[in-house]
């Protein structure tokens, strides 16, 4: 008999097993506190990152699996049936205690619990829900809870999960059905989509009827692995934009495929560049907050890939020079949002400021974050860059140098 694992050993194994899920957000929940309560915890709706690991990623939630044993054999997953990693399994009580002890010391905002599938999807989902239920009902825990939903689990269990969790997620993992079939033989795109649709209906229902039962007030999210299959950025963005539209996802996480110990031979031997992940997030932001359609972002690109050297907004502007320069004193909000170097907050500040006075270049310097790069794209009363825009060297003038770029990965 092998020696029984201590809880600390299990923590190490089951945190290591959970870390390939990029999501760690703790935002979007309802506002609550523990005044006049025997329990602990609060949520302001804004997430808090309590620490950062040396990969630069945020630690907001205790992100662990209930067990890393799994019936499935998904090639990209470190916990797949055929992998030889050490296996461990927490009891419900152990996860509850760890969450509370970490939370009391202000290490975390809450719990992100996922699990390998053991015995059956329902058996596993029931155990995951029981952790959340124990935290909420026995301990009056008001911190953040994110639960991974198992697509094949029964609707009753998903409803129970939504009652206790702030956020639910189902990972779609691969951008095409063909890739999913190849890498995750037990998973079906149709089942994943059906469960996402159920979640979105439940979430919308609970928002519309605030007196009815609570259901995941922070919405649902998903994750796409990038670079494990040969899908292009345009395929990834098309999938993402479809998911946002159909199921009103709060977030899509893009996770550059990274090498795992004891990897499947189906996988590429090289990691996907982290820069690719970074560019996809930038494109995702353009779709959600800047009014860009997914088709526009990559229009004119030869291979359906985002330009690694410059961000997608700048790339779009360089391909659409006829739309510039934009007069900051008169342009509509939508046009200002397309100016490289002007973010959503800068645009709002510009709109507020120009209703009181004509803006000059010095004003823009104070209102915008990256002054130098937006100069070729804007007009003020004392600045007109028409000749600059024609110069072929423009790209070299506004694009960051290669050395700076390597900061991103």
Q: Name residues contacting other proteins, limited to 128-167 (CB under 8 A).
A: none
CB of 65 to other proteins, least distance (A): 11
**Least distance between other proteins and beta carbon 367 (Å):** 6
Question: Binder to other proteins among 104, 119, 181, 333 (CB under 8 A)?
Answer: 104
The answer to the question of residue 396 lying near other proteins (CB under 8 A) is no
CA-CA distance, 32 to 141, in Å (whole number)? 11
Q: Does 404 participate in binding other proteins (rule CB under 8 A)?
A: no
Cβ 157 to other proteins shortest distance, Å = 27
Q: Which lies closer to other proteins via its Cβ, residue 24 or residue 240? A: 24
Q: Looking at 208, 302, 357, 393, which residue binds other proteins (CB under 8 A)?
A: 357
Altogether, the residues listed in the chain come to a count of: 409
Residues 310-349 that bind other proteins (CB under 8 A): 349
Strand partners, 256: 226
SS3 content of the chain, % helix, strand, coil (to 5): 40, 10, 45
CB of 328 vs other proteins, minimal distance in Å = 11
CB of 362 to other proteins, least distance (A): 8
Rg (CA), the chain: 24
- Token pair of 201 as six digits: 């209906």
Among 44, 133, 154, 207, binds other proteins (CB under 8 A): 44
Judged by beta carbon, residue 230 or residue 355, the one nearer other proteins is: 355
Site string for other proteins, 248-287 (x = CB under 8 A): --------x-xxxxxx-----xxx--x-------------
Opening angle at CA 197, ends 192 and 202, nearest 5: 125
Secondary structure tally for the chain: helices H, strands E: 17, 10
Nearest distance from residue 278's CB to other proteins, in Å? 10
Give the DSSP letter of residue 119. S
Choices 46-54, 124-132, 307-315, 316-324 (CB under 8 A): range interacting with other proteins:
46-54
Cα–Cα distance, 65 to 10 (Å, whole number): 10
For every residue of 131-196, DSSP letters joined together read HHHIIIIIS---SEEEEEPPTTS-HHHHHHHHHH-SEEE---BSSSHHHHHHH-TT--HHHHHHHH
Should residue 82 be labelled a site residue for other proteins when binding is judged by CB under 8 A? no
Q: Which is nearer to other proteins, 18 or 238 (CB)?
A: 18
In contact, 306 and 279? CB cutoff 8 Å: yes
State in Å, rounded, how far the first CA of the chain is from the last one.
44
Q: Give the residue, chosen from 38, 302, 392, 402, that forms a contact with other proteins under the rule CB under 8 A.
A: 38
- Given 233, 294, 307, 363, the residue binding other proteins (CB under 8 A): 363
Nearer to other proteins (CB atom), residue 394 or residue 405: 405
Distances from the Cα of 213 to the Cαs of 133, 158, 168, 198, 348, in angstroms?
Answer: 14, 13, 16, 15, 37
Kind plus residue range of the DSSP H or E element containing 408: none
Distance, in Å, from the CA atom of 284 to the CA atom of 236, rounded to the nearest integer, reads 10
The answer to whether 361 contacts other proteins (rule: CB under 8 A) is no
State in angstroms the smallest separation of the CB of 156 from other proteins: 32
Q: Which one among 249, 359, 375, 399 touches other proteins, defined by CB under 8 A? A: 359
Residue span binding other proteins (CB under 8 A) among the ranges 80-88, 105-113, 171-179, 180-188:
105-113
| Rounded-to-integer distance, Cα 314 and Cα 135, Å | 47
User: Which parts of this chain interact with other proteins (CB under 8 A)?
Assistant: 8, 11-13, 15-16, 18-20, 33-42, 44, 48-59, 62-63, 98, 101-102, 104-107, 256, 258-263, 269-271, 274, 349, 352-353, 355-357, 359, 362-364, 366-367, 407-409
């Amino acid at each position: 008999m092998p020696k029984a694992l201590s809880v600390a050993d299990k923590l190490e194994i089951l945190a290591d097993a959970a870390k390939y899920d990029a999501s760690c957000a703790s935002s979007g929940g309802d506002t609550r506190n523990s005044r006049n309560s025997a329990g602990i915890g609060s949520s302001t709706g804004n997430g808090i990152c309590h620490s950062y690991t040396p990969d630069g990623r945020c630690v907001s939630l205790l992100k662990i699996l209930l067990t890393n044993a799994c019936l499935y054999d998904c090639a990209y997953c470190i916990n797949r049936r055929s992998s030889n990693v050490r296996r461990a399994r927490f009891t419900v009580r152990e996860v509850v205690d760890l969450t509370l002890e970490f939370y009391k010391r202000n290490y975390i905002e809450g719990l992100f619990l996922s699990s390998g599938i053991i015995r059956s999807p329902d058996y596993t989902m029931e155990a995951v829900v029981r952790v959340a239920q124990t935290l909420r009902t026995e301990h009056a825990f008001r911190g953040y809870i994110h639960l991974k939903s198992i697509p094949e689990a029964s609707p009753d269990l998903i409803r129970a999960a939504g009652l206790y969790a702030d956020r639910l997620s189902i990972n779609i993992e691969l951008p095409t059905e063909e890739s999913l079939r190849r890498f995750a033989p037990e998973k079906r795109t149709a089942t994943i989509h059906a469960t996402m649709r159920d979640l979105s209906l439940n979430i919308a229902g609970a928002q519309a009827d605030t007196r009815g039962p609570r259901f995941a007030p922070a919405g649902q999210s998903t994750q796409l692995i990038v670079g494990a299959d040969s899908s292009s950025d345009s395929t990834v963005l098309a999938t993402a934009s479809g998911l946002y539209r159909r199921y009103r996802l709060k977030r899509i996480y893009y996770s550059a495929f990274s090498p795992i110990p004891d990897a499947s031979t189906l996988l590429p031997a090289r990691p996907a560049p982290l820069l690719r992940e970074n560019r996809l997030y930038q494109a995702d932001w353009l779709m959600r907050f800047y009014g860009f359609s997914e088709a526009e972002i990559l229009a004119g690109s030869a291979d359906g890939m985002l330009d690694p050297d410059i961000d997608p907004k700048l790339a779009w502007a360089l391909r659409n020079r006829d739309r510039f320069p934009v007069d900051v004193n008169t342009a509509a909000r939508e046009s200002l949002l397309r100016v490289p170097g002007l973010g959503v907050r800068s645009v709002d500040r510009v709109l507020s400021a120009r209703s009181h006075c004509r803006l000059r270049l010095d004003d823009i310097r104070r209102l915008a974050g990256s002054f130098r790069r937006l100069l070729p794209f804007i007009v003020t009363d004392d600045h007109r860059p028409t000749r600059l825009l024609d110069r072929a060297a423009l790209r070299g003038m506004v694009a960051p140098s290669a050395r700076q770029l390597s900061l991103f990965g």
